[in-house]
Chain A
Amino acid sequence: MKTNLYITSFGFIDSSGFGGTGSKGTVCGLPERFRWREFSERPYERFGRLDILSKHVLVACESADLPLAEDGGKNHGTGIVLGTQSGSLSVDADYYRSTAEISCGSPALFSYTLPNISIGEIAARYGIAGPNSCIMAGSSSGTAALREGIRIIEGGEAESCIVVAADAASTENAELFGLGRAGHAGASCFAYAFVLETSERADTAHRKPRAVVSWTGPAAVGELDSLSGPGDICRMLMDGEKEKPDSIMLPLATSRSGRGDVIVIESLPERKAGS
């Protein structure tokens, strides 16, 4: 099925650094010790209180240069979908350890023991009030979230959607649960964020399309030898990257039989922008 949806903005943080539409840089120190000023000049007082998953998600969204909510303004036309494999597992472990030291454990930690909490943090900072969901589909979680963002827009529930693929765990908990090993989604700490929107909305807002979602549906025979993940979308879109592909295909291997649809994303070079 052909689609008419653009990716107009993106941001990421992973072992290679952070970057996107708004900024680019390298990451210093362990993920559990990130400081907001390493990533953005726009203040964010809550950052130090966030769990490790939310920190990664917020850095990716900030790197995508999302506009901040102004005066309590809410954007009901934009949704958020998070795809994550391990969700809040790292803070789950931290919270449960805290019950040995504090009666009934730390309420501050318990508040973060739900994988969709980082959606609430995105919504509050950027004023995004539309449909939202947290999807967990094993190592395909990020691609499944992208598919859901497409569904939400194509179904007319929103005009744009922020899609985030993320997993994060502290060093101790990544080792305890084997995160980052075979069967898990790549490294133990990453977040990739994309703004997906209709071509009409992008045109109206004068936002430059960086890529187009050109296909969602069954893969043609012989096409399945160049499969990618959400991180590859960022690499395709990042300025200055060498030998980057013009298009990538993301598999939706979410059925028991392994069959599934694919999403094809094509980059839009500068000369094509707005055309």
Chain B
Amino acid sequence: MKHRANIIGAEAINALGANLSEIWDRMMGLECGIRPLVNLPKGRYQTDVAGEVLPEIENRLPEVDGNSRLFRLAAAAAAGALKQAESIDRNLDLENTGLVFSTTKAGIDELEKIITRENSGNPEYIYPGAVAAKLAGHLSLGGPVIAVSCACASGLAAIVQAARMLRDGSAARMLVVGADILSDFVMQGFSSLQALSERPCRPYDCARDGMSLGEGAGALVMSADENPESLASVGGWGITNDCTHINVPDPGGRGLQKAVEAALAMSGKKRSEIDCINGHGTSTIPNDEMEAEAIAGAFGENPPPLSSMKGYFGHTMGAGGVIETAINIEALREKIIPACMGFAEKGVGPLLNICREHLEQKRLDNILTLKSGFGGINAAVIIKAFSSQQSAIS
């Protein structure tokens, strides 16, 4: 059954900027948004650096009712993507537009307040489903509304969820919004796992020693219609589970390899047609090794160029898949693969083709994005440049 999931709006907010264009420009300028903590206290965690959305960025976002940072970031990203979608599809019907909200911890800062300050927090923002419903109300969306929480693969899982809902006609348009914020809860939690680097992270590097956390929001508007001005299309996807351990990836990368193979099969693409891999590249020892094994297993001796965005703005958790997909749409438009910030000397997979510098390409039509997370989940999604002849998924 042929179906379409075209992307007609994209927006992102993170440590590098208040919108997608600003983020892209700063990435092209090799700017790193992982800096000494400002919003959170120094000396409390395993590291004093993270990709925070600083006040100079946050203060430029539209204000919303309530006092939730998470909601403000999510609403601003959603508004940006919808504005672009309305410029492409002038008949965009919000009443027939649904919402998938992706997050790992939603407004977990409110739980901190409830636990430590005698119930002063607003529990509404703790529940991802409630945040999704509130966001849909704020944006006047009338279609189906759900939240997806699949650890660090949440963003890609939400894009897949929206594509499935377009496929079965649940709505004509789907807005996907991913948002997560840095909080004492999250910083302490990853510190307890000894998973953080004291310096900005170095994906795939031999000296990598942990991740850098980040925060932000991303949004995509997806449409089942064929619109010649579409920005990009979802080409195919695969989601699998390692079946091994809840917080240690399968060292052989077999689950992620299966996800890549499923995405390729759904897209009808050959391996040689994948022009770039936007890796998860968290910069932890086990993740990057697992990913290298999966890429080697799926692509053999001649894999496409690989880059991770974590060195620019950190691991934005449940927002990551959406933010990075929005940036990938810029990459498709500009035909530039961003350099893998922080990478200097290869520490995994001798055959991997990791980008030390920005790569300008004559052909950049298909980007494979990878994400894996706690709970054993692996996700692979192919985003392709829009082509009216080839926008359908088999």
> A interface vs B, CB < 8 Å?
69, 74, 76, 80, 85-87, 89, 92-93, 95-97, 99, 102, 104-107, 110-121, 123-124, 127-138, 141, 144, 148, 151-152, 154-157, 176-178, 252, 254-257, 260-261
Contacts and interface: CB of A to CB of B under 8 A. Distances in A.
Contact of A135 (B116, B147, B262): B147
Given A74-B243, A110-B189, A254 B128 contact: no
Contact of A113 (B105, B116, B244): B105
20 contacts: A74-B243, A85-B127, A87-B127, A92-B105, A93-B114, A95-B185, A113-B189, A114-B374, A114-B375, A118-B375, A127-B243, A128-B241, A129-B243, A129-B255, A131-B239, A135-B161, A137-B147, A155-B1, A254-B145, A256-B145
Given A124-B243, A151-B168, 10 more contacts: A92-B108, A105-B192, A107-B193, A110-B190, A113-B185, A114-B104, A116-B149, A119-B377, A120-B246, A177-B114
Q: Which of B105, B141, B190 has the most CB of A within 10 A?
A: B105
B164 interface: yes
Interface stretch (B74-82, B131-139, B279-287, B343-351): B131-139
A116 B258 contact: no
Contact of A256 (B130, B137, B239, B374): B137
B242 A104 contact: no
B133 A132 contact: no
B66 to A, nearest CB: 18
Interface in B110-169: 111-112, 114-116, 123, 126-130, 132-133, 136-137, 141-151, 157, 160-161, 164-165, 167-168
Nearest to B164: A151
Interface string B372-387: 0111110000000000
Given A110-B189, A111-B374, A124 B244 contact: yes
A177 B244 CA distance: 33
Given A120-B375, A129-B255, A136-B149, A256 B241 contact: no
Nearest to B103: A136
Given A124-B245, A137-B146, A255-B143, A131 B240 contact: yes
B374 A95 contact: no
A135 B128 CA distance: 9
A106 B192 contact: yes
B188 A104 contact: yes
A95 B146 CA distance: 26
Contacts of A154: 168
Contacts of B170: 261
B260 to A, nearest CB: 13
The 6 closest A-B pairs by CB, nearest first: A120-B375, A123-B241, A136-B129, A110-B189, A104-B192, A120-B246
B353 interface: no
Interface string B177-193: 00000001100111111
A138 B127 CA distance: 8
B188 A133 contact: no
B164 A129 contact: no
